[in-house]
Amino acid sequence: SIFSSHRSAPRERIAEDLSQALDERAENPDLIIGYDLVDEEDKEHTNLFFINEILAARHKAELRNITLPLYLHSGESNWTENANVLDAILLDARRIGHGIALLKHPLLMQMVKDRGIAIEVCPISNQVLGFVADLRNHPAVLYINSGLPVVICPDDPGIWKCTFSYDFYAAFMAWGLDLKCLKQLAMNSLIYSAMDPEEKERALEYWRKKWAEFINWLNEYNH
């Protein structure tokens, strides 16, 4: 799981959360894979607001010979002034949650592509919350066509009452995705996961086997 803190919290609370996240990751690195900041970005504190606390936690992690990867909700906004995506990139975030504001910054898009930072796209959540009125105009279409690492995510399935498959279906219907693109998006979920390299390879091997079985079934069904 990813240890999450609320952006609305004061710096002192974030420092405490980061310390707890480090302790839990040190005790069970396979259970706690990283740290995130959540909450409505346009109303609450930015990534930069907590920069001292984040950098201090990173230094403490190095002293303890552990890591605390960042998986930051950033750019869940339609504001050009939203700088959270930039700071997430500079902080070497493994993945960026939502990343809608990235659309307005071509240079940052290229940096995300070059560094292999995955964008966690949440179609249904983005539409329900009003960030994208028409899913056909979702910036993820540009990200995918530009070769950025994109993964489809359900955001808060317990709240929206929909699962991972619903977001894939919404993306498929709205973005004109073909079977090849759906295959890559599904593989991205494994490639940009927090699994270690050996786990990823085993998971991808199993997935490719199941995909081949699916394609064989599809060919037989069509005949």
Which of 41, 53, 76, 120 is an active site residue? 76
> Is 201 tagged catalytic?
no
Angle between the N-to-C axes of helices 197-222 and 179-191, in degrees from 0 to 180, rounded to the nearest 10: 160
Where helices occur in 92-196 by DSSP H, the ranges are 106-115, 123-128, 140-145, 157-160, 164-175, 179-191
Angle (CA) 203 206 211, round 5°:
120
Minimal CA–CA distance to 188: which of 203, 167, 172, 170?
203
Residue among 98, 105, 120, 138 flagged as catalytic: 98
3-class DSSP state for residue 105? coil
Q: Which two tokens stand for residue 151?
A: 């993964």
213 is catalytic: no
Torsion of CA 187, 193, 199, 200, to 10 degrees: 30
Positions annotated as catalytic residues are 76, 98
